[in-house]
């Protein structure tokens, strides 16, 4: 240490002050005064030194505080950046973020949210499974989330697939190889059956062969013979009828003609004689001496022409049937019984009327059977000769032949004959 350094120290300063106090002064101040001033000067110097040291300490403290604040702000900014990033909580702790702050950050995400007390599975609007949460007061929390549904193995015939079940789900179903094979065989069998049915409807193997009907060979229409052909057989068609067959033809013709008239009138609701005449005859049955016939004659004027036609047709039918069965003599009681059996009576239903028409048709068929080959001369209920009916049945699948039949016997005649009406 040099001399100047000593003078600048506290001890050097004190020594200089004492030397100054010991030297004489022109102002006449005593030693005590000079000593007091020297000590005061030293104290003033010390006070200045202390004040300077204090200011320096304050400045240093202020600088340290500012530096600390700056460092704290920098660290806070760094921590905020870490907490706002996608960094995991564990990495935040490793980067120096306090555990308490990390914990508070993790819990802040649920701040203000409802706490789920329980969950249950419910059905959604589309039938899907929904996991719904409820709070402790049993209030639903949120809209729920879709629940897991395990896929199931579904057999779709031609393949198997894993599918998640859901309401309204529809899956196509194919056929397995064995099912396709069975289906193909089934369709092939159906086609064969349809071809066989059409073949049989056309007459089968006998379709183009002529048939012997009423002593005539009947050939169906074909490409070579579009109109068909009827060829009488010598020795059959010309063979004379027996007496019994001739009588059956005669009475059968009368019965068939009467039945055709009655069916036409009945279809219009006019197949009955007049009411007045029927009542009068019902009140005088079997009086004898021609009285009942006289009553009928006297009341005949009360009937209309249609009613007279109906009565005439009924009498003609009954006479033909009863005389063939009983002979020439027919009693009034037989007439009355047969009239109720064959013809409509007041109060008869439509079903009963149809049944009585069938009864008349059966009686005519019986006469045809008795007539033998002469049956072709007896018309059916439509008034069409039996030979024409037989030919129609042979060509029923030919539209052209049906049209020609209608031209001869009237519109719809072919359809009525084939329906048996």
Q: DSSP characters for 273-299?
A: --HHHHHHHHHSTT-STTHHHHHHHHT
Whole-number pLDDT of residue 288 = 44
pLDDT band at 289 (very low <50, low <70, confident <90, very high): very low
Instruction: Tell me the range of 116-125, 271-280, 318-327 where mean pLDDT is highest.
Output: 116-125
Region 277-298: mean pLDDT is 52
Torsions phi, psi for 330 (to 5 deg): -125, 125
Whole-number pLDDT of residue 319 = 86
Share of the chain above pLDDT 70, in %: 67
* C-alpha–C-alpha distance, residues 212 and 232, integer Å: 9
Whole-number pLDDT of residue 291 = 44
User: Angle at which helices 291-298 and 275-283 pack, to 10 degrees?
Assistant: 160
Confidence check: pLDDT of 33 > 70: no
Torsions phi, psi for 117 (to 5 deg): -95, -30
Whole-number pLDDT of residue 231 = 66
Whole-number pLDDT of residue 31 = 63
Burial readout 68-104 (b: 16 or more C-beta within 10 A, e: otherwise): eeeeeeeeeeebeebbeeeeeeeebeeeebeeeebee
Confidence check: pLDDT of 327 > 70: no
pLDDT, greater one: 35 or 334: 334
pLDDT, greater one: 379 or 121: 121
Point out the least confidently predicted range of 39-53, 181-195, 254-268.
39-53
Say what the pTM is. Answer: 0.38
119 contacts: CB under 8 Å, gap ≥ 6: 131, 132, 133, 134
Give kind and range of the element (H or E) at residue 406.
Answer: helix 399-409
pLDDT band at 280 (very low <50, low <70, confident <90, very high): low
Confidence check: pLDDT of 167 > 60: yes
How confident is the prediction for the chain on average, in pLDDT? 75
Half-sphere exposure of 394 (CA within 13 A, CB side): 26
Whole-number pLDDT of residue 302 = 64
- Which tens digit of pLDDT belongs to each residue from 84-121? 777 787 887 888 888 888 787 777 777 777 888 888 88
Whole-number pLDDT of residue 78 = 76
Q: How far is CA 353 from CA 227, 272, 320, in A?
A: 39, 12, 21
pLDDT band at 290 (very low <50, low <70, confident <90, very high): very low
């Amino acid at each position: 240490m040099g001399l100047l350094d000593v003078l600048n120290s506290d001890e050097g300063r004190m020594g200089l002050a004492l030397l100054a106090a010991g030297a004489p002064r022109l102002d006449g101040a005593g030693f005590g005064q000079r000593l007091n001033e020297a000590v005061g000067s030293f104290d003033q110097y010390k006070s200045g030194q202390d004040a300077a040291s204090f200011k320096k300490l304050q400045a240093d403290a202020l600088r340290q505080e500012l530096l600390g604040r700056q460092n704290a702000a920098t660290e806070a900014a760094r921590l905020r950046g870490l907490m706002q990033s996608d960094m995991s909580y564990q990495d935040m702790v490793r980067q120096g973020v306090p555990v308490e702050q990390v914990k508070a950050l993790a819990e802040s995400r649920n701040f203000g949210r409802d706490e789920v007390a329980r969950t249950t599975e419910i059905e959604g609007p589309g039938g899907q499974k929904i996991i719904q949460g409820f709070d402790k007061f049993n209030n639903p929390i949120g809209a729920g989330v879709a629940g897991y549904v395990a896929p199931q193995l579904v057999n779709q015939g031609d393949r198997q697939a894993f599918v998640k079940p859901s309401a309204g789900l529809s899956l196509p179903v194919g056929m397995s190889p064995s099912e396709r094979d069975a289906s193909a065989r089934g369709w092939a069998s159906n086609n064969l059956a349809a071809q066989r049915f059409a073949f049989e409807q056309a007459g089968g193997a006998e379709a183009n062969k002529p048939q012997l009907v009423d002593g005539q060979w009947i050939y169906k229409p074909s490409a070579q013979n579009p109109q068909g052909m009827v060829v009488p057989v010598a020795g059959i068609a010309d063979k004379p009828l027996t007496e019994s067959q001739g009588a059956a033809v005669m009475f059968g013709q009368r019965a068939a003609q009467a039945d055709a008239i009655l069916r036409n009138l009945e279809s219009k609701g006019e197949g009955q004689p007049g009411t007045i005449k029927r009542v009068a005859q019902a009140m005088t049955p079997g009086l004898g001496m021609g009285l009942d016939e006289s009553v009928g004659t006297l009341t005949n004027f009360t009937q209309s022409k249609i009613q007279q036609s109906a009565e005439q047709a009924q009498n003609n039918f009954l006479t033909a049937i009863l005389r063939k069965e009983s002979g020439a003599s027919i009693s009034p009681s037989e007439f009355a019984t047969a009239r109720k059996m064959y013809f409509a009576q007041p109060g008869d239903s439509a079903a009963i009327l149809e049944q009585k028409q069938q009864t008349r048709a059966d009686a005519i068929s019986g006469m045809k059977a008795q007539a033998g080959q002469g049956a072709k001369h007896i018309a059916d209920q439509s008034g069409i000769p039996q030979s024409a009916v037989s030919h129609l049945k042979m060509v029923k699948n030919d539209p052209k032949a049906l049209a020609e039949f209608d031209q001869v016997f009237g519109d719809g005649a072919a359809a009525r004959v084939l329906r048996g009406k």
